[in-house]
Structure 1
Amino acid sequence: MKRHIAFFGAPFWGHVNPTLAVLADLVSRGHRVTYVTTEEFSEAVTAAGVDVVRYESTWPAARSAPSQVSADEMAGGPLKYLVENVAATGAEPAFDGDVPDVVVYDTLMHFAARALAHKWQRPAVQLIPLFASNEHFSVAQQLADEFPALDPQHPALIEFGTKLAEFRASYGMGEASPADFFGTVEDLNLVFLTKEYQPAAETFDERYAFVGAGLADPRTRGAWTPPEGDAPVLLIALGTLFNERPEFYRLCVEAFADQPWHVVLATGRHVDPSDLGPLPPNIEAHQHVPQLAVLEHAAAFVTHAGARSTMEALHFGVPMVTVPQSVELEMAGRRTAELGLGVRIGRDEVTAERLREAVLKVTQDAAIRRNVEEMRRATREAGGAGRAADEIEAYLRRALDA
């Protein structure tokens, strides 16, 4: 039976992009999908064939995140996420008389989505585009020592607790539990990683489906053709949130200007390639590149260690040099190095020489090549968007036909 499926996406490209192929797959199976998102992502989501319900985000569009945050900023984080979630509930009137059969939500939108699922008495599915947490493994606890110590009596945390209680009460929900702060576990949780990449993977039960990379349809990826010659291709990109780093890009130009590589450098929307000065003939720089198309030809990838970029690289069997640009990304950078899939360089330790040495190592080390190839197979066998759609359909049959 065809169903109406509501998606609540977090307003970040790294969270939206993995869902696009899932949306297209569900639509191709005859389901009707409504996606709640902001103006910035509406065009991409509409292209997947779904109906879009827009809400006004409380966060500035096209922002670039800092590499470090203060204790005050950390304390204010939960409240900012709650306020964004409350804004997303403004989409509720669009579902009047047209309540979805299931609510599928990004893990960062769980306040809004779970409240509406509770009100509508509908099952919910969680989408996790990064490391998953459960009763045995907590990403928040793993990162706790990396962040500034927080005062539990900080005014922002007190205000968050008060507003969360008020929000939950307005939807007839009970008192918040620790899970509402550190990771809800639904009966179905779709994780856009391979299980082999997930820490403590053996502790995750059948409620978690590790579907690997949510790759875009090849017809929508954009095209890129390597230049003539046999120079290996090196892709350098820092994702969509951590790319306002002109000094890093200049180091990359210095590192590979006279090297036998063809370098594709993606600077992001905040840095104009012309600001990097004259580029040598073996380096091309653009604010945006079709990442999947370049990775298909790449021999190595210098990356910020974002989960989506990592899975895309592994899908194509590309070893990585990770330069994590935030505390959260450090966890992925360390995991990539721990599994022997690449080399990590701390963001404060980057030099032109270290970049050259790391790229040489990941392309010539036999163990790294072997590990990357094994993970490439695992990533492709995880099932991707098709597996995610299968899991949602199976869950709907269990939840609604019971």
Structure 2
Amino acid sequence: MTRYLLSVQPFTGHVNPVLAVAAELVARDHDVRVYTGQAFAAAVTASGARLVPWREAPDFDEHDLPATFPRLRGKKGMRQVLVNVVDVFIATAPAQARDLAAEYARQPWDVIAGDEMSLGAAFFAQREGTIWATICIIPLNLAGAQGPPGGLGLAPGTNPLTRTRDALLRAAVPVLSGPISGALRRARAEAGVAPSRAGLDHQAFSPHLAVAAGCRLLDYGRTDRPASLRFVGALSRPSTAPFDPPPWWGELDGPLPVVHVTQGTQNIDPDDLLRPAMEALAGEPVLVVATTGIRGRDELPFPVPANVRVAGFLPHAHLLPKIETMVTNGGWGGTLGALSRGIPLVVAGGDLDKPEVAARVAWSGAGVNLKTGTPTAMQVRTAVRRVRADPSYRAAAQRVAAQLEAAGGAGAAASALETLA
């Protein structure tokens, strides 16, 4: 038996894939603790692991970040990304490291692994000089010698002009990362970690092992990835929770193809994507299933077309087998879930890592990148019609599905962590 501590930022999209790894390790008779927010206590327990809650680190509600991080109020786009990185991920890292130090003193572990935004785990391991691992649960933002910097939603250049663009953008990262670099220096000092001139795109990733959700077809086929990186496909686990379907569930087995529209669990203003998508598909010969992103919020603050059914949350294990096409804001977990089933996508990625997801899906050929998080109804309608009419999108999605399945999922991630131990 090996003792594992898995650290994960308390966001649904981060916690779920890490818990898939935790459950696999538990099934192999290892002792597993998960350090995350109290809101996920029941989910951690259901995985078979034990919760270590954020104590000194400021636990927060992912649906109301400004309540804990007031600088986020009113921010969107790149300004939101910057404040998220500095306030939510970097500034909380010293307190995370203190929580982890207290837990280690109470009961040591053999291996610590954190998602790429759990800098507290990285700081703790670096300060103590121990081996650690990264569980990458968002599109891989690991700096390399190829392509543009991650997060910009740009595919790597394919000609002298665009390759020069990529090189210039890579060179500009240290200049443009002033606020992030300063916050990192302060956080490392507060956590008692030796100074480092490396950027966030290096400090957040373990040099020993990084297991990454996704596959090479969703990583632009890059060849500059380190030997310590292993793609493991989609990190998910079978749902054991009882499913109480909505009254209209049987309609999904009717004659109309089903289009799923989701805005994820963050930045869930329905006017951004749900409303224009519903308007776009109102006259189409499809049944639309829209999810609001919050359990129990099964209605929208505006009338919906007759061919639309609304729910707060629907387990993908039950929903995706019934879906023909998906319109999404580009959440990585939902995107991988759909592509794992060969479902082509229309992606409206507006902020955080979503533009990067949209660009990767488009590069793979498995969907259309709307290049905005607030598309018009006409943009959505045109894209959905294009994806449904052109079989190349479904064929590409099926190629991605095959690669994701071959990568091994949570089992492969657990095996890699066992090897590290």
TM-score range, shorter-chain basis? 0.7 to 0.9
Q: Which residue of 2 aligns with 1:399?
A: none
CA change 1:276–1:251 in 2 (3 A) is farther
Cα deviations by residue, 1:51-96 (Å, 9 ceiling, x for unpaired): 111114536412378541439x737843542221122222432222
Q: Which residue of 1 aligns with 2:384?
A: 359
Which one of 220, 224, 228 corresponds to residue 203 of structure 1?
224
> Contact 1:75 / 1:150 at 8 angstroms: preserved in 2?
no
Which one of 372, 375, 383 corresponds to residue 350 of structure 1?
375
Residues 187-226 of structure 1 mapped to structure 2, 5 A cutoff: 187-220=208-241, 222=243, 225-226=249-250
How far apart, CA to CA, are the structure 1 residues paired with 2:177 and 2:374?
Answer: 35
Q: Which residue of 2 aligns with 1:4?
A: 3
Aligned residues: 388
Q: Which residue of 2 aligns with 1:174?
A: 194
Structure 1 position 160 matched with structure 2 position 159: no
CA change 1:95–1:284 in 2 (3 A) is same
How far apart, CA to CA, are the structure 2 residues paired with 1:142 and 1:283?
Answer: 33
How far apart, CA to CA, are the structure 1 residues paired with 2:110 and 2:135?
Answer: 17
Q: Give 4+ residue runs of structure 1 displaced > 6 Å after superposition.
A: 148-154
Which one of 123, 138, 144 corresponds to residue 130 of structure 1?
138
> Contact 2:24 / 2:410 at 8 angstroms: preserved in 1?
yes
Partner-residue secondary structure (3-state), 1:234:
strand
Residues 3-402 of structure 1 mapped to structure 2, 5 A cutoff: 3-56=2-55, 57-58=57-58, 60-61=60-61, 62-63=63-64, 67-70=76-79, 74=82, 77-78=85-86, 80-89=88-97, 90-110=99-119, 112-132=120-140, 133-137=142-146, 140=149, 143=152, 160=183, 163-168=186-191, 170=192, 173-180=193-200, 182-183=202-203, 184-220=205-241, 222=243, 225-227=249-251, 228-246=253-271, 248-269=273-294, 272-326=297-351, 328-347=353-372, 350-396=375-421
How far apart, CA to CA, are the structure 2 residues paired with 1:272 and 1:101?
Answer: 41
Partner-residue secondary structure (3-state), 2:34:
strand
Q: Which residue of 2 aligns with 1:400?
A: none
Partner-residue secondary structure (3-state), 1:268:
coil
How far apart, CA to CA, are the structure 1 residues paired with 2:124 and 2:307?
Answer: 53
How far apart, CA to CA, are the structure 2 residues paired with 1:161 and 1:200?
Answer: 30
Cα deviations by residue, 1:81-123 (Å, 9 ceiling, x for unpaired): 222112222243222252110111111113x112322454431
How far apart, CA to CA, are the structure 2 residues paired with 1:317 and 1:221?
Answer: 26
Partner-residue secondary structure (3-state), 2:394:
helix
Which amino acid in structure 1 is aligned with residue 406 of structure 2? Answer: E
**Structure 2 stretches lacking a partner, 5+ long:** 66-71, 154-168
Cα deviations by residue, 1:312-334 (Å, 9 ceiling, x for unpaired): 11111100000112153112212
Partner-residue secondary structure (3-state), 2:94:
helix
Cα deviations by residue, 1:22-56 (Å, 9 ceiling, x for unpaired): 11110011100011111122221121011111114
Which amino acid in structure 2 is aligned with residue 290 of structure 1? Answer: P
How far apart, CA to CA, are the structure 1 residues paired with 2:301 and 2:285?
Answer: 20
Deviates more, 1:126-135 or 1:292-301: 126-135
CA change 1:271–1:54 in 2 (3 A) is closer
CA change 1:221–1:311 in 2 (3 A) is farther
What do you get for the CA RMSD once the two structures are aligned? Answer: 3.1
Which amino acid in structure 2 is aligned with residue 58 of structure 1? Answer: P
CA change 1:345–1:118 in 2 (3 A) is closer
> Contact 1:236 / 1:301 at 8 angstroms: preserved in 2?
yes
CA change 1:292–1:242 in 2 (3 A) is farther
> Contact 1:324 / 1:333 at 8 angstroms: preserved in 2?
yes
User: What is the TM-score when the length of structure 1 is the normalising length?
Assistant: 0.86
Which amino acid in structure 2 is aligned with residue 82 of structure 1? Answer: I
How far apart, CA to CA, are the structure 2 residues paired with 1:135 and 1:21?
Answer: 28
How far apart, CA to CA, are the structure 2 residues paired with 1:351 and 1:271?
Answer: 27
CA change 1:40–1:374 in 2 (3 A) is same
Cα deviations by residue, 1:144-174 (Å, 9 ceiling, x for unpaired): 97xx9998797x6686255234225x2xx42
Cα deviations by residue, 1:166-199 (Å, 9 ceiling, x for unpaired): 225x2xx422131455443421100001122113
Which amino acid in structure 2 is aligned with residue 207 of structure 1? Answer: S
CA change 1:55–1:214 in 2 (3 A) is same
